[in-house]
Amino acid sequence: MIPSERLKGIEAFVCVADAGSFTAAADRLSLTASAVGKSVARLEARLRTRLFERSTRRLALTDAGRAYYRTCVRVLAELQDAEAVLAAERQEPAGRLRVDLPATFGRRVALPLLLQFAQRHPQLRPQVSFTDRFVDLADEGIDVAVRIGGPQRWAPGLGHRYLGSERVVFCASPQYLARRGVPQTADDLMRHDAVAYGRADGEPASWRIFQGAGPVSLRPIEGVMVLDSAEAQVDAVAAGLGIAQLATWLAADALRDGRVVEILPQLATEGLPLYLLWPLSKQLLPKVDAVLEMLGESLRIV
């Protein structure tokens, strides 16, 4: 980072070179001629180079001064351009915005929010990816990511915001319950058919059972069907194949229209945490700040 005093010295130097005298430069900068002269003198001392040839008649740039002047003019112009861009973005977020979302949660919950956000900001160009792997935000140029689950401590250089945790409930279809009966306890539950989540090359995920004030226990299950898609689990449960443990944001539509119903509400438990992630180097960009504010206020696991 360039210290502010160095920038002041550069601005004074350029103004003196343009104005042709310390007095004229002082008028333009609303400073005294003495203050401008001292600023330039400090700059020359730091550079260990004489920038001006001084005489009673005139003030002229040295060869080194002319070379330094060209660079300083370019740097100050670029700073002015950057400030203009930031000012414009503060009024209207614009440009490319890379967002990475969890596959299912992203499509069902986060994407509708981003679509509304994009409609409100037509100068923005969102690029949205959907993946359940933990991408390296810096390596892949991601501005903002939403993650379900993750480490207790995130990598250095990442900002994060905790947005709450899933609520996980047991669900079954009315047809299945009419055929097999409604379980009343956790032990009853283990005697029912399970629609499990799991990868083809691994064991199905255990059910998380919460009872009273005790800790959450994990109950291994076999499953009459094992699926590696949480959305497919909802479909299988609605078709009457068995019981599944589902996040309420995932089962919301099926619960609302009655295709599935919640059972054993006393066994509902907290699921995985939800986070917003972003590179700290980008958090002051207006477009990133705007989407973080929107998602932070609107994104909730239900």
Tell me the pLDDT tens digit for each residue of 168-185: 999 999 999 999 999 999
Query: How far apart (Å, rounded) are the C-alpha atoms in residues 52 and 68?
Result: 11
**Is 255 a residue whose pLDDT tops 80?**
yes
Q: Which residue has the higher pLDDT, 180 or 137?
A: 180
**pLDDT (average), residues 225-229:** 92
Q: Which of 164, 98, 84 is nearest to 137 (CA)?
A: 98
- In sequence order, which ranges of the chain are alpha helices (DSSP H)? 4-19, 22-29, 33-47, 63-91, 103-105, 111-120, 174-180, 186-189, 230-238, 248-256, 286-298
Tell me the pLDDT tens digit for each residue of 289-302: 899 999 999 987 65
> In the chain, what are the domains?
4-87 (1.10.10.10), 95-164+273-298 (3.40.190.10), 165-272 (3.40.190.290)
Q: Which residue has the higher pLDDT, 23 or 217?
A: 23
Q: What angle do CA 206, 207, 209 make, to 5 degrees?
A: 135
Instruction: Quickly list DSSP for 235-267.
Output: HHHHTTS-BEEEEHHHHHHHHHTTSSEEE-GGG
pLDDT for the residue 1: 45
**pLDDT (average), residues 72-81:** 83
Mean pLDDT for all residues in the chain: 88
pLDDT for the residue 94: 84
Q: Which residue has the higher pLDDT, 100 or 92?
A: 100
The model's pTM: 0.64
